[in-house]
Chain A
Amino acid sequence: MTREITYVQAVAEAIDEELARDDDVILFGEDVEEFGGNFGETEGLYQKHGRDRVRNTPLSEIGIAGMALGAAVGGIRPVAELQFADFAATAGDEVFNQIPKQPYVSGGKLKAPLTIFAPSGAGIGAGAQHSQSVHSWLGNVPGWVVVTATTPYDAKGLFKSAIRDDNPVFFLPHKMLSETKGEVPEEEYTLALGEAAVEEEGDDVTVVATQLMFHRAREATADLDIDVEIINPRTFAPLDTETIAESVRKTGRLVVVDETVERYGTQGHIANEIVENDFFSLDAPPKTIGVKNVPIPLSPPLEQEVLPSADRIAAGIESLF
């Protein structure tokens, strides 16, 4: 049985169910209690699970991320929110040097089963410091499992897995998708981390896209007379390269669309994996499409200018034929 719920409801349900399932799970972050999160992602949780399990923190990402690390090592399973993904940088040392490295430098003896989640992405006019997609930053630091969500189905199933996973997981919902609706099973389910999903099958070109870009890629290909295979990587790190490579071996063409900045973005990394390992399956050079190499501006026409549009994606796909 399925029903339609919004993406943000799916996020809240994931946390709710994991709090109910496992006493070791706790949620903390700024304004996660009555306020319920900027997008409603923690609404109702504190009333249901109480203040010991759902905690407002003082305003410091360093405190939130650092405390999550210690709590995880200490034997509980923290789920910690940063209000915007950009704030991974305000907890820079915790996010880049501490969390992903402490298990490694301990020789695997220390376990940090924590999840940090943070709404990412542009499109709501939030400006240069509240709009970034940061999975390229995080993907560059081995130790993080970096997970995104494209649909309500993904959001719930992947978030639940993220919470259960024994690695540090950075889970990145997209704020533009908050109110989008989709089918989600009534019954309990999880989705595997580290595995890409072939969302649409096709023979002519492989398009890799996630989050908002997935929906734009779909829009872009609706009117094209090209048989497109769309792959949603779901987990950016470690990346399921094999599912993408298998698809390119069939289609011979690759377009990677992503909301990270084009310069040193994830697009380039994914394309490179195929160029280095499956070069001879390519019939055309891979095409990468991302945010232009500028900070994200506020004014809607400017913001839309730098984000990949459906038209830009369509043109990118067509350029390969």
Chain B
Amino acid sequence: MTQNVSVDDETARQFLEGMLRIDIFEEETKERFGEGEIPGFVHLSGGHEGSHIGMGAAMGDDDWLAVGGARLIGQYIAKGVPLPDIMAELYGRVGGSNKGHGGQMHVSDIGRKLYGHAATIGSGQNPAVGLALAEEIQETDNVAVTTIGDGGTSRGSFHTALVFAAYWDLPVVFVIENNEWAISTPAESLSPDHLSDYGIPHKMATESIDGSDVEAVYHTVSEAIERARNGGGPTVIESRVARLVPHFEGDKETYRDTDEYERLKEEKDPIENYRERLLERDIVTETGIEDMIANIETEVKEAVEFARESPEPEPEAAYDHVYRTPLYGQGENQ
């Protein structure tokens, strides 16, 4: 089945390039983690690249992203955080986006309006509501987009965020990345037909889309953002994707059916599908893609070099950033 390309050629190439950037960066991350260079956990985004890039492209520079789920790195890249900042943060180095205080689960970049992530899954949505409230009070037309996995939608805090967003009709776009698994727990066992149905009782706009199609995500999130910008209130989108990687590096995935997994890899790989789609329509050429890949590989290599060369934090830096001091009025009477 051939699918139309619904965006201009340049945008289409950027989508492909964006997805490849996530993929190549993460392949390198996996290698570096395997070599013991990266501490902590590493969760990869395989299968979510289209959802991330489509969402990122739909957002304006001044729209907030509060990251959720466990497929994080792709979202940081989609929000435009430079690769060296991300890689050095994974390494826990001074040159990282958060000076090594955050790590893989906590990349934030306030200048780019990346709020960061609540590593306690499902706690990022109420802050997103607060970000939207702040924008509204400051009389901007910026919106807050927040992602969550299928697993996270079972947390009460997610439902509370829907209540609060609906209460003031705030400009929030909830994107549920349903990859059918919360570690080993299948989303299938949850009762709604679509997880976006959770927005229905709040009279929100809801959409359930094929999230492995970057263009579908782009159009749907764009529409939701437009609606929110124009005072139309929140939207809940279910972006249906496949998790084509283990939950985290080291997960043996004994709970997955091998045939089904292979089928998903064949059918739901957003990069492979889009690449074919663009090739068929002569929007890119094989050599064009090879050039793209070569350029990204250079970027990623530079990011790794930057991370490796960035110093380890001095141990005393552990005490920085707990408080902004002096506290209000402190020391003024002495």
Q: Does A161 contact B (CB under 8 A)?
A: yes
> Would you call A73 and B98 a contact (CB within 8 A)?
no
Most chain-B Cβ atoms within 10 A of its Cβ — which of A58, A62, A78? A62
CB of A194 to closest CB in B, whole Å: 4
> Would you call B327 and A93 a contact (CB within 8 A)?
no
Cα of A36 to Cα of B161 in the assembled complex, Å: 24
**List of A residues within 8 angstroms of B326 by Cβ:** 194
Q: Does A312 contact B (CB under 8 A)?
A: no
> Would you call A108 and B321 a contact (CB within 8 A)?
yes
Most chain-B Cβ atoms within 10 A of its Cβ — which of A24, A26, A66? A66
Cα of A95 to Cα of B106 in the assembled complex, Å: 18
> Would you call B134 and A66 a contact (CB within 8 A)?
no
**List of A residues within 8 angstroms of B131 by Cβ:** 70-71, 73-74
> Would you call B120 and A93 a contact (CB within 8 A)?
yes
Stretch at the interface among A132-140, A163-171, A258-266, A297-305: A163-171
User: Which of A70, A105, A194 is close to B98, meaning CB atoms less than 8 Å apart?
Assistant: A105
Cα of A191 to Cα of B332 in the assembled complex, Å: 10
With A26-B137, A145-B327, A193-B330 already in contact, the answer to whether A72 and B123 are too (CB < 8 A) is no
> Would you call A73 and B110 a contact (CB within 8 A)?
yes
**Extra pairs beyond A63-B164, A76-B138 (15, CB < 8 Å):** A57-B164, A62-B126, A63-B161, A66-B123, A66-B161, A70-B133, A71-B131, A72-B130, A73-B130, A73-B131, A76-B134, A93-B123, A109-B97, A192-B333, A193-B328
Q: Does A190 contact B (CB under 8 A)?
A: yes
Listed A/B pairs (25) with beta-carbon separation below 8 Å: A55-B168, A63-B129, A63-B163, A66-B125, A67-B133, A69-B126, A69-B127, A70-B131, A72-B134, A102-B108, A106-B110, A107-B98, A107-B99, A108-B320, A109-B97, A162-B328, A165-B324, A165-B327, A192-B330, A192-B333, A193-B328, A194-B326, A194-B327, A194-B330, A195-B330
Cα of A26 to Cα of B131 in the assembled complex, Å: 14
> Would you call B167 and A78 a contact (CB within 8 A)?
no
> Would you call A70 and B329 a contact (CB within 8 A)?
no
> Would you call A71 and B130 a contact (CB within 8 A)?
yes
Contacting B at CB under 8 A, from A140-163, are 142-143, 145, 161-162
**List of B residues within 8 angstroms of A67 by Cβ:** 126-127, 129-130, 133, 164
**List of B residues within 8 angstroms of A63 by Cβ:** 126, 129, 160-161, 163-164
Q: Number of contact residues on A: which range applies?
A: 35 or more
Q: Which residues of A contact B (CB under 8 A)?
A: 24, 26, 52, 55, 57-58, 60, 62-63, 65-76, 78, 93-94, 97-98, 102-111, 142-143, 145, 161-162, 164-167, 190-195, 235, 238
**Closest B residue, CB atoms, query A96:** B120
4 closest residue pairs by CB, A with B: A70-B130, A66-B126, A74-B134, A192-B329
Contacting A at CB under 8 A, from B279-334, are 320-324, 326-333
CB of B324 to closest CB in A, whole Å: 5
> Would you call B328 and A65 a contact (CB within 8 A)?
no
> Would you call B329 and A106 a contact (CB within 8 A)?
no
Contacting A at CB under 8 A, from B119-156, are 120, 123, 125-135, 137-138, 144, 156
> Would you call A62 and B327 a contact (CB within 8 A)?
no
> Would you call B130 and A62 a contact (CB within 8 A)?
no
> Would you call B116 and A161 a contact (CB within 8 A)?
no
Cα of A167 to Cα of B99 in the assembled complex, Å: 19
Q: Does B25 contact A (CB under 8 A)?
A: no
> Would you call B108 and A109 a contact (CB within 8 A)?
yes
**List of A residues within 8 angstroms of B23 by Cβ:** none
> Would you call B157 and A69 a contact (CB within 8 A)?
no
CB of A146 to closest CB in B, whole Å: 11
**List of A residues within 8 angstroms of B102 by Cβ:** 105-107
**List of B residues within 8 angstroms of A191 by Cβ:** 329
**List of B residues within 8 angstroms of A143 by Cβ:** 322-323
CB of A227 to closest CB in B, whole Å: 25
**Closest B residue, CB atoms, query A238:** B323
Q: Does B118 contact A (CB under 8 A)?
A: yes
Cα of A284 to Cα of B66 in the assembled complex, Å: 54
**Closest A residue, CB atoms, query B326:** A194
With A66-B157, A106-B106 already in contact, the answer to whether A75 and B324 are too (CB < 8 A) is no
User: Which of B109, B120, B125, B163 is close to A109, meaning CB atoms less than 8 Å apart?
Assistant: B109
**List of A residues within 8 angstroms of B135 by Cβ:** 74
**List of A residues within 8 angstroms of B144 by Cβ:** 70
**List of A residues within 8 angstroms of B329 by Cβ:** 161, 190-193, 195
With A63-B164, A105-B106 already in contact, the answer to whether A192 and B127 are too (CB < 8 A) is no
> Would you call A104 and B101 a contact (CB within 8 A)?
yes
Cα of A104 to Cα of B109 in the assembled complex, Å: 13
**List of B residues within 8 angstroms of A106 by Cβ:** 98, 101-102, 106, 108, 110, 116, 321
CB of A76 to closest CB in B, whole Å: 5
With A57-B167, A104-B322 already in contact, the answer to whether A66 and B129 are too (CB < 8 A) is yes
CB of B111 to closest CB in A, whole Å: 8
Cα of A108 to Cα of B97 in the assembled complex, Å: 10
**Closest A residue, CB atoms, query B320:** A108
CB of A144 to closest CB in B, whole Å: 9
> Would you call B123 and A167 a contact (CB within 8 A)?
no
**Closest B residue, CB atoms, query A61:** B160
Most chain-B Cβ atoms within 10 A of its Cβ — which of A106, A165, A235? A106
CB of A216 to closest CB in B, whole Å: 28
**List of B residues within 8 angstroms of A58 by Cβ:** 160, 163-164, 167
Cα of A94 to Cα of B124 in the assembled complex, Å: 9
Q: Does B218 contact A (CB under 8 A)?
A: no
> Would you call B127 and A98 a contact (CB within 8 A)?
yes
Q: Does B54 contact A (CB under 8 A)?
A: no
**Closest A residue, CB atoms, query B166:** A58
> Would you call B64 and A74 a contact (CB within 8 A)?
yes
